[in-house]
Structure 1
């Protein structure tokens, strides 16, 4: 019987890295600690169904973003008195996602498989992110992709027996686990001043978005998840558990961090 996905065991919003400077230092340190990518592929595309490579190409497409809209929301928040160090920290965050896309592209190229230029689901999420969202909403939308990416990277390591692909999967799994902490900390700080009913509404909407996203991505990615030994129910339970570890409980009262003038 396949072991279940790894999910956070402690509330991620309690991470000790509380300031943007903390996260900027983390991202810069992580950049110097990346796993070396092996040259050995040890497989060919013919060793696995075509649905595997389509899934991998779609995942690569979703990982890449210029991050313009997220940076716009970040700068708007800073202009209202937010921590200016969040801008360079967010830029490093975006660079990590771009690195994921580049590494996944290397995996596809190694087995002579093409990247995907467009997909209706990716287009839908990009259109949603292009709206003039505030930082809270922008991070909330992005959080769903981070949760799915965290679980997908784990499944990828189990599904395809290639040293290169498994190493890329391990690096992405680690990065996404830290991205979840990063987003949890900032969502906690952004939402802490709000009333409990607004936070309950935000969390309900977050669960609804995750519910819909999982059902939308499953047809294209189920081959990888099933090869890892995980049914849709298993993936859904792990995704919900990860989301719950990320969101601040509505009855929690943490002191609000003072923002820089």
Structure 2
């Protein structure tokens, strides 16, 4: 366990200052900043919406709409590929393999960094949603804001399921990125699989596409009839995550040339 903690700390430091590091912060606040600017520069619309008891539901729905359909899956594809490819980029796989740590520790510490970054993104995104309403309310004196209770339970449930639905993307991108030295290969395959999943959403077996679960969940929240009937795609997401992770681990430890 101590070896894993030290390895995780080392991997966490590596990603600081990289594009993946900034993707988390920019991605987490990008959509909320747009709605914050709208609230600040169009106070009449914002204060009118604030009078509705469904204010938070509408705001979260709008925020997740832009995030879940494309930006979130695309961001996960990019961030996972970038973090995993750091050793190839810096040509440090041989140096890493000479350190006194097992291949399992190396594999799972890198993987854990990506998972924690994803959790970090969701925290920032939810904080951003709250600030996108709070700051315009403070600027324009929106007294109705303080009468609107933030639906913590719904926010937590929604975030947890979106997190679960992202995990197959993380696992498969991690698998692909460990097998190819060229960053464009995992990135291109990830984008291609994402587009294929979006195209196949109306297909009766579209739930078999591992990159489709975030859009499916968003449409289920809106009670839109898009997606599989009587199929719990969250279970599919969990199954794909476990399967891809195990396959990725087996391929990694049995790969003759790690870098």
Q: TM-score, normalised by structure 2?
A: 0.30
Answer 1 or 2: which has greater helix percent.
2
Larger Rg, first or second structure (1 or 2): 2
> Which structure's relative contact order is higher, taking Cα pairs within 8 Å and 6+ residues apart?
1
**TM-score of the pair, normalised by structure 1:** 0.30
